[in-house]
Amino acid sequence: MNYDAIIVGSGQGGNPLAFRLADLGWSVALIEKKDLGGTCINVGCTPTKTMVHRAQVAHYARNAARWGVNASNVSVDLARIVAQKDEVVLSFRGGRQKQVDRRANLRLHRGHARFVGAHQLKVGDDLLESEKIFIDTGGRPSIPAIPGLETVSYLTNESVMQLTALPGCRKRSKPKECNSCSTPAPRASKTRTAPSTYRSKAPRAPRASPARIS
């Protein structure tokens, strides 16, 4: 498949470029291996700001008396907030899909792009060619090379936003209702292993550079 331009990565860099070139009449291939919208929409700006907004609301509610408002028994339903955050992310991602769909000369290829020649990329079994290939592969969490890290749990910007209980709640020694997230807190464990909800996906080998295309 030959295109006027190929863009690898559908983030804040790749999408506007792909849309603009397609609008100028170019035949464009946009390649995305994960979710349309890249870091910002899926695991960056959009979800974090949705969560920060809810934190702000909780802050106002807990400190309402300062502004002459009576609010009592304020608690946070983190699972519900995470579900709302996921809804916002899905809706933004859907918006990007619509922007792709409405452009006939823009084709979205799903999969991991890798160079097989100076002007050739492979995505699965598809061979894509163009004189102009733009690499907009952005960033992803970089796991520092700390000895022993692979043996313990840790969070990244991706996994932290899936937590449905605050880590502080889990550390409470008494199994009473946590006033921060409404989650019944279990007894404190003597082991140093974090609960499974805090586990990130299997650690990857540390990388030297923030983004790499292979």
Ligand X SMILES: Cc1cc2nc3c(=O)[nH]c(=O)nc-3n(C[C@H](O)[C@H](O)[C@H](O)COP(=O)(O)OP(=O)(O)OC[C@H]3O[C@@H](n4cnc5c(N)ncnc54)[C@H](O)[C@@H]3O)c2cc1C
Q: Is 18 in the site for ligand X (CB under 6 A)?
A: no
Q: Is 167 in the site for ligand X (CB under 6 A)?
A: no
Minimum distance, C-beta of residue 90 to ligand X, in the bound complex (Å): 15
Q: What are phi and psi of 148, to 5 degrees?
A: 90, -10
Minimum distance, C-beta of residue 22 to ligand X, in the bound complex (Å): 17
Minimum distance, C-beta of residue 77 to ligand X, in the bound complex (Å): 22
The candidate with the shortest Cα–Cα distance to 117, out of 105, 109, 129, 107, is: 129
Distance CA 40, CA 12 (A): 7
Distance of alpha carbon 151 from its chain centroid, rounded? 24
Q: Is 136 in the site for ligand X (CB under 6 A)?
A: yes
For 33-137, where are the E strands, in sequence order?
A: 106-110, 113-117, 120-123, 126-130, 133-135
Buried b (16+ CB within 10 A) or exposed e, 135-158: bbbbebbebeeeeeeeeebbbeeb
Minimum distance, C-beta of residue 151 to ligand X, in the bound complex (Å): 25
Minimum distance, C-beta of residue 155 to ligand X, in the bound complex (Å): 11
98-127 residues near ligand X, rule: CB under 6 A: 112-113
Stretch binding ligand X (CB under 6 A), from 31-39, 147-155, 186-194, 202-210: 31-39
Task: Please list, in sequence order, all residues whose beta carbon lies within 8 angstroms of the beta carbon of residue 51, skipping any fewer than 6 positions away.
Answer: 81, 85, 161
- Residue of 99, 120, 157, 159 interacting with ligand X (CB under 6 A): 157
Q: Per-residue string for binding with ligand X, 56-95, x by CB under 6 A?
A: ----------------------------------------
The angle, 0 to 180 degrees and rounded to 10, between the axes of the packed helices 78-101 and 45-62 is 150
- Residues of the shown chain interacting with ligand X in the complex, contacts defined by CB under 6 A: 8-14, 31-34, 38-40, 44-45, 48-49, 112-113, 136-139, 157, 213
